[in-house]
Structure 1
Amino acid sequence: MTTRLKTLGVAAAAAAIAISTAITAHAEEPTTEDVPGAPDVHGSGCDALKEELGPDGLDRIFKQSASAAIAAIPSLSTYSSAISGGLNPAVNVVNVLDNGPYNVFAPTDEAFAKLDPAELEALKADPDRLYATVYYSMSLGLLGPEDVHGKLTSQEGRQITVTGKGGDIKVDDTAKVVCAGVTAENAKIYLIDTVLSPDNALPATATTTTSPTETTEATETTEPSETTETSEAVEPTETTETEAA
């Protein structure tokens, strides 16, 4: 009888341990609420972006590389081709972009459609110009819509000027951000309504080119000839005439 009770006690204890382990394991499993989602986006075009991405689209992009995230956004298909060799096989910056972090100012398909057809064809046919254009749309960093304003040095070398915050942001005073802060694994993506051109930016060294000229002009205003004229005003001949008298 005692042996039977002991057996039952051991079995009950084993069952209790198993139930406790199962409950603990279940409690430690992450829930949907524990997994961080993509930060919210801002701008007048964000509702349209969410609609084209479908349910949880921003959360899916949140886990992708920059190039994959851009490729996953239907309205960025032309820009995706521009950075990946689709417009010109000689121009492929995917490896550079995916080794970010980068702030990416990505023109939408509608932005490319605003270009004159001849200008777009010329852009496709000129690798140097296409490289400059896509690199000008990228700047090192990972800045959200509240912090992206100011002067940003592009991958191309010239500075991008960003003004505004949140859902009201402009780039180089020519492009409006239609949806700001789409977050990928290594990028903040800003959908813009105009293709940026490095020709609209000042070189990063522009502020230093005027300094030597201004300094030279300042020294030239103090002309040594004025000092010479002053010394000539006291003529030694007057002293000679006095002695002669």
Structure 2
Amino acid sequence: MQTLRARAVIASVAAATVLPLSLGALAPQALADDTTPVSTNASGTPSPFGPGCSSLPKNGKGSIDAMSKERVARAAATNPKLTKLALALKDAGLTTKLDDAKHITVFAPTNEAFDKVPKEKLATLMKDKAQLKKVLTYHVVDKTVTSSELPNGSFKTMEGSTLKTSGSGTSFKVNDKANIVCGDIRTANATVYLVDTVLMPPSS
């Protein structure tokens, strides 16, 4: 009888020990199933952010993940929202220069931004390599611009002039003209902010 009682006590103790361990092992999985992680940058802003991010490919060429593995000009060339920018960079002879650069920031005009430029003006610009290069390098900052710097930012561009950013939360403008439609996209060598307007240097 004592042997049976001893066995019963041992079984009860073992069950009491195993059950919490089992529940502990299941808890992280349950949490993972119920919670969808949101990527945020150092300032707490969702990364990438902006209404235009949803229009980018979810996977494959041009997706956020694919762009992160490419140098910036190459990433633009494979993104369906940036094909006109990629063509302009090629015509201006800037593709290699940007791909070889390190830790730069590109305020990248989307195809829609180029469509806003009057056709005759755009055609003239595309034929003038020196002026095209000037305009495009005005969109490039030779450092990493973080989203925490955007609310009241002032940055010297590769062209030599200064562009300014303003806004808050996930809504920002460049030079009070261009909206950042999708920001904080990372490529292998750059941070990219898609803008809906082609920016013109002050001297243009």
Tell me the TM-score normalised to structure 2 length: 0.71
Gaps of 5+ in 2: 1-38, 42-46
Residue 151 (1) aligns with residue 157 (2): no
Does structure 1 conserve the Cα–Cα contact (< 8 Å) formed by 2:62 and 2:78?
A: no
Which one has a bigger Cα radius of gyration? 1
Say what the alpha-carbon RMSD is for the aligned residues: 2.3
Residue 186 (1) aligns with residue 189 (2): yes
Q: In structure 2, what is the equivalent of residue 195 of structure 1?
A: 198
1:45 is paired with a residue of what secondary structure?
helix
Does structure 2 conserve the Cα–Cα contact (< 8 Å) formed by 1:64 and 1:184?
A: yes
CA distance in 1, matches of 2:169, 2:188: 20
Does structure 2 conserve the Cα–Cα contact (< 8 Å) formed by 1:182 and 1:188?
A: yes
Pick one of 173, 178, 188 that aligns with 1:175: 178
Q: Which moved more, 1:91-100 or 1:112-121?
A: 91-100
2:154 is paired with a residue of what secondary structure?
strand
Q: In structure 2, what is the equivalent of residue 106 of structure 1?
A: 108
CA distance in 2, matches of 1:175, 1:58: 22
Gaps of 5+ in 1: 1-36, 86-90, 202-245
- Structure 1 residue identity aligned to 2:110: T
- Structure 2 residue identity aligned to 1:95: T
Q: In structure 1, what is the equivalent of residue 77 of structure 2?
A: 71
- Equivalent positions of 1:118-133 (< 5 A) are 118-133=120-135
Tell me the TM-score normalised to structure 1 length: 0.60
Instruction: Identify the structure with bigger relative contact order (alpha carbons < 8 Å, sequence gap 6+).
Output: 2
Does structure 2 conserve the Cα–Cα contact (< 8 Å) formed by 1:147 and 1:165?
A: no
Paired positions, count? 159
CA distance in 1, matches of 2:73, 2:105: 12
Give CA deviations for 1:142-190 in whole Å, capped at 9, x if unaligned.
Answer: 2232234411000000001111245211101110010001100110111
Going from structure 1 to structure 2, the CA distance change for 1:45 and 1:121 (only over 3 Å counts) comes to same
Q: In structure 1, what is the equivalent of residue 51 of structure 2?
A: 44
Q: In structure 2, what is the equivalent of residue 8 of structure 1?
A: none
CA distance in 2, matches of 1:119, 1:55: 31
Give CA deviations for 1:179-232 in whole Å, capped at 9, x if unaligned.
Answer: 00110011011111000000379xxxxxxxxxxxxxxxxxxxxxxxxxxxxxxx
Give CA deviations for 1:68-127 in whole Å, capped at 9, x if unaligned.
Answer: 111121110000111122xxxxx2112221212211011111111111111101101111
CA distance in 2, matches of 1:165, 1:49: 23
1:42 is paired with a residue of what secondary structure?
coil
Going from structure 1 to structure 2, the CA distance change for 1:55 and 1:75 (only over 3 Å counts) comes to closer
Q: Which moved more, 1:40-49 or 1:153-162?
A: 40-49
1:146 is paired with a residue of what secondary structure?
helix
- Structure 2 residue identity aligned to 1:66: V
Going from structure 1 to structure 2, the CA distance change for 1:55 and 1:69 (only over 3 Å counts) comes to closer
Q: Which structure's residues are more often helix, by fraction? A: 1
CA distance in 2, matches of 1:123, 1:153: 23
Pick one of 41, 50, 61 that aligns with 2:67: 61
Going from structure 1 to structure 2, the CA distance change for 1:175 and 1:59 (only over 3 Å counts) comes to same
CA distance in 2, matches of 1:167, 1:76: 21
